[in-house]
Amino acid sequence: MDIKKLFEEARKQKCSDLHITAGTALATRRFGELKVLEGKNDYIPTIEESEAMILSMLTNEQRAHVMAGNDLDVGTMLEDGSRIRANVYHQRNHLAASIRLLEGVIPTLDELGFPKSIEELSELPSGLVLVTGPTGCGKSTTLASMIEHINHTQKRHIITIEDPIEYIFLHEKAMIHQREVGKDVVDFATALRSALREDPDVIMVGEMRDYETISAAITAAETGHLVLATLHTTSAAQTVERIIDGCPIDVQNQIRTQLANVLRAVITQRLIRREDGEGRVAASELLLNNNAVSNLIRDNKVFQIPNTIQSNLSNGMYSLNYDLIRLVKSRVITVEQAKRYSPAPNELSRL
């Protein structure tokens, strides 16, 4: 079986990920669950076939990079117009690849199940909006949906900085330039500093990984741009802590003050299997910055943020537990799933 047929079959089964490991069975991830294909009717490639499939996705330059012993992150478009994001690596002296099968069409925020307030965040003139959550929870798709909403509704110049590029945007009302780390620019921080000289209205940062990127993103938000970025954190409070802890100790007070001023919102999300078994749904938490939140950030009292969210439900904020309860009551997810993903299961049960 060639790689194209493998992708076709995986998409037909509504899989999100495909794992190829030379010398062992293939594996897929469908609706969050991993399945190793090793039944009597499953196709199990040889070592040579596995490595040939992996290398067939790559350019000559990328093949040379991998064969020299290096790992590789790559985003590429297939002949049918769909896109994949792949990480090619080495294990037990052979090649392996983890491949994310990306949707060809970017869903709307409404289709993702987000409230209208998330749409409104993408219409802000400036500030920092963060989309957070663990790996594989749909952060990139949420960001892409926000960018696409801007693209269809506003005349703005958007620069995206990604590693690698996942979704391809076509110019509508907005003009969009997509820069890939490692190809178009050296790193996120360099691209952010350059972006300030490229007349942007909106800057999308694939990931705020280090102090240089954090500092550059905050500066961009301070200078009148809307910055959309992601972090691998599991709550709004942890997001603020991660940003501050990622900075040198001697500048942490300064970063607290800057962050208190420029932060507009933190969206934290999970993907949870639907009760009917047909796909997954996003459960989220939304922190909106107001005077109370700003003061907590400045005073280094971010541990009080969950209480602030709870007391501001009428102002548009909501906790993950609140959204989990909404999904249970509407019979989208089960009570068991809600408890599994809840940061406070006992509180969830009480509510």
pLDDT over 70, % of the chain: 100
In the prediction, which pLDDT does 112 show?
A: 92
**pLDDT confidence tier of residue 209, bands split at 50, 70 and 90:** confident
* 237-267 per-position pLDDT tens digit: 999 999 999 999 999 999 999 999 999 999 9
DSSP H stretches of helix in the chain: 3-12, 47-56, 60-67, 116-121, 139-153, 188-195, 211-222, 236-245, 252-262, 291-298, 305-310, 320-329, 335-341, 345-350
The reported pLDDT for the residue numbered 243 is 96
User: Model confidence over 182-195: pLDDT tens digits?
Assistant: 889 999 999 999 99
Record: fold of 116-350: Rossmann fold (3.40.50)
3-102 with 116-350: one CATH topology? no
**Per residue, what are the HEC states of 205-222?**
ECCCCCHHHHHHHHHHHH
The neighbouring-strand residues paired with 181 are 185
**What's the pLDDT tens digit per position in 39-63?**
777 888 999 999 999 999 899 999 9
Q: What percent of the chain has pLDDT over 90?
A: 77
The CATH number of domain 3-102 is 1.10.10.60: no
> Which pLDDT score is estimated for 350?
85
pLDDT at 38: 81
Domain positions in the chain: 3-102, 116-350
Under the banding of pLDDT at 50, 70 and 90, the label for residue 82 is confident
pLDDT of 111: 93
- Spatial contact of 151 and 176, defined as CB atoms under 8 Å apart: yes
Give pTM, 2 decimals. 0.89
- Residue 349's pLDDT is 87
Residues 141-147, mean pLDDT to the nearest whole number: 96
Q: Would you call 210 exposed, middle or buried from its count of C-beta atoms within 10 A (0-12, 13-18, 19+)? A: middle
Task: Flag the least confident range among 37-51, 297-311, 329-343.
Answer: 37-51
Give me Rg for the CA atoms of the chain. Answer: 21
34-38, 63-67, 93-97, 301-305: the lowest-pLDDT one: 34-38
